Amino acid sequence: MNNIFRYIILSLFLFSGCSLIKEMFPPSPENILRNNDFNWEKDSSDNFYYYFETNSTASNKIGKIKSFLESNYADLLKLNGINLYQPKIKFFMLESKEKMELLFGYKTNGKSIPKDNATYSVIGKKTNALAMHEICHIISNNVLGDWSESWINEGLAVYSDNDWHGYNLHQLSNYFLEKDKIISFKELFNNMGSYNSLISYPEAGSIVKYIYEKYGLEAIKILWKEGSESMRKATGVKLEDLESEWKEEIKKFSAQNVKYNRVSAK
């Protein structure tokens, strides 16, 4: 399958989640700021430039948004193994997925374009995608370089928020395990795009959390560059054994109170 076709297929699965798609020619931040369908306002803080529309949900709570991003920023740098990141990240906020579609041609809650140092998130009345996720993509991609497999890129971004729809990542993975919806490591590592992103994303986050907290950032860096084939090199443990270890760990997090009705679709 050629790459362009593969990205089109991926986009069909990911309309509701963060965008994994590497488009060939996304619009640049400069072009977006010149787009007459939008009425942009600007603001800034120590580490971000903010762009949002006049009278939008984001404009009404820009103070809270700035303090959320700045207060989580140092931890995000630490997660990526750095103390300083420059230049400031461009943080665009859109009122709805429909507005996102106007810019990029498809509906998504969030997307990041590392080469432009720019992220785009829906912060509106219906959807609030305010999180560190897209910012993590920008920093990880620019600091750690090209990633080998989607699960490590998305898993690290999910782990940067260390939460999914209000649930602990291990707790939610234990819920998938109990519901027989867990995706095997082999499938997740090789075919993440074919699975429901509302399962694959938090599960990838839980796996990255486990590896990061037990084997450290150096293990993550190896997996980032070389992929799951290098699991033994990264952790000293065979892939199948690591999968068993991880399952034992997530079982420690009771899924009894989880109410997550998004596990039906493949």
Give the binding site for Zn ion (CB under 5 A). 18, 154, 157
Q: Pick the closer one to Zn ion by CB: 200 or 235.
A: 200
What percent of the residues of the chain are helix, what percent strand, and what percent coil, each to the nearest 5? 55, 10, 35
- Nearer to Zn ion by Cβ, of 14 and 255: the residue is 14
Tokens of 184: 């095997």
What's the number of CA atoms in the CB half-sphere (13 Å) around residue 15? 10
b/e 209-246 (16+ beta carbons within 10 angstroms → b): bbbbeebebebbbbbbeebbebbeebbebeeeebbeeb
**What residue spans of 179-261 are helical by DSSP H?**
185-191, 197-215, 217-226, 231-235, 239-250
Closest residue to Zn ion: CB criterion: 18
**Cβ distance to Zn ion smaller for residue 160 or 235:** 160
Q: Which of 87, 91, 94, 252 is nearest to 171 (CA)?
A: 252
**Minimum gap (Å) between residue 157 Cβ and Zn ion:** 4
Cα–Cα dist 214/169, whole Å: 15
Other Cβ atoms less than 10 A from the Cβ of 187: the count is 13
Q: Smallest distance, Å, CB 19 to Zn ion?
A: 7
Taking the complex as a whole, how short is the minimal distance between the CB of residue 3 and Zn ion, in angstroms? 19
CA triplet 115, 98, 7: central angle to 5 degrees?
45
Residue with smaller CB distance to Zn ion, 156 or 211? 156
- Between helices 133-143 and 150-161, what is the axis angle to 10°? 130
Least Å distance, CB 137 to Zn ion, is 5
Strands 40-44 and 89-94: unpaired
32 vs 208 by CB, closer to Zn ion: 208
| Nearest distance from C-beta of residue 54 to Zn ion, angstroms | 28
48: nearest Cα among 18, 86, 100: 86
CB of 250 to Zn ion, least distance (A): 21
Q: Smallest distance from the beta carbon of 233 to Zn ion, in angstroms?
A: 25
Which lies closer to Zn ion via its Cβ, residue 18 or residue 89?
18
Q: At 167, list the tokens.
A: 């649930």
